[in-house]
Amino acid sequence: MEYTISKLAKLAGVSTRTLRYYDEINLLRPARINHSGYRIYGQEEIDRLQQIRFFRELDVDLVTIVSIMNDPQFDKTNALQQHYAQLVNKRSHIDKLLHTLEKTIAHERGEYLMTNEEKFNAFKEKMIQENEDQYGVEIRQKYGEQTIEASNAKLRGMTEKEYADMKTLEKEIFQLIKQALVLNDPHSDVAQEAAAKHKEWLMYSWSTYSKEAHAGLAEIYVADERFQAYYEKIGKGATELLHNAILIFLEKNK
């Protein structure tokens, strides 16, 4: 079965403008152009569009989707399995949030005594799920399933105070990086303090620490635009500055 651009847009729940843009960026090309100049899409393109929609539902940016799907090694079946697992995890997280909210309402009504640990469990799960959705594939490939599962288990086991301390430390690191950007010197005291606190911050989730793993993470920061976007919120050049500061910190503390 073949579809014109308008029929495919209606089928997939997207706009024709979106499909034209996908063509422009070499993400989804039509199978052919007919004699009237209309884009015509076949089954292969329909299946590819479904993959794209799955990626977008998981908040993967278009640049990354183009890179992934245009890779000759792209495995459609494996991608579908990963989509399935991530969506199941997302559903599980929503269920936990609803369960926590139900207990919170019951607690406020005096019908249930909610512990402080219970109040924060869902938020820790949210943090884990966000990490999995954004970076799960890459970090599992780099560090392995066992390492990531151990890290997630450590996060789940955090006390209320540890969770609060970790979030506070993250804010301190951002502030230090912001100050270091003014100096634009990764060797500066403030940049090195940011790198030291970054190590301290990692230890809230890492079951074991190694300088090699820390350096590897710093390399991912500058190589992956999603990590770049996270730190570039502080200011332009923040990711590279943190990367350089970490490597200098590790070299100084051999």
Rounded to the nearest integer, the mean pLDDT of the chain is 86
* 185/204 Cα distance (integer angstroms): 27
Q: Is 118 left (phi over 0), alpha (psi -120 to 50) or beta?
A: alpha
pLDDT of residue 170: 93
Secondary structure tally for the chain: helices H, strands E:
12, 3
Q: Which residue has the tokens 């991608």?
A: 79
Tell me the two tokens of residue 68.
């992934």
Residue 208, pLDDT > 90, answer no
Strands 32-33 and 3-4: unpaired
pLDDT of residue 96: 75
* 162/65 Cα distance (integer angstroms): 36
Its pTM stands at 0.50
Which is higher by pLDDT, 61 or 169?
169
Kindly list the domain boundaries of the chain, sorted by start residue.
3-69, 76-156, 160-252
Say if 3-69 and 160-252 have the same CATH topology: no
Q: For residue range 50-100, what is the model confidence (pLDDT) as tens digits? A: 999 988 887 788 888 898 899 888 888 888 888 888 778 778 777 877 877
* 188/129 Cα distance (integer angstroms): 35
* 99/122 Cα distance (integer angstroms): 9
Which of the following CATH numbers is that of domain 3-69: 1.10.1660.10, 3.30.360.10, 3.30.70.100, 3.30.70.270? 1.10.1660.10
Architecture of domain 160-252: Orthogonal Bundle (1.10)
Which is higher by pLDDT, 155 or 189?
189
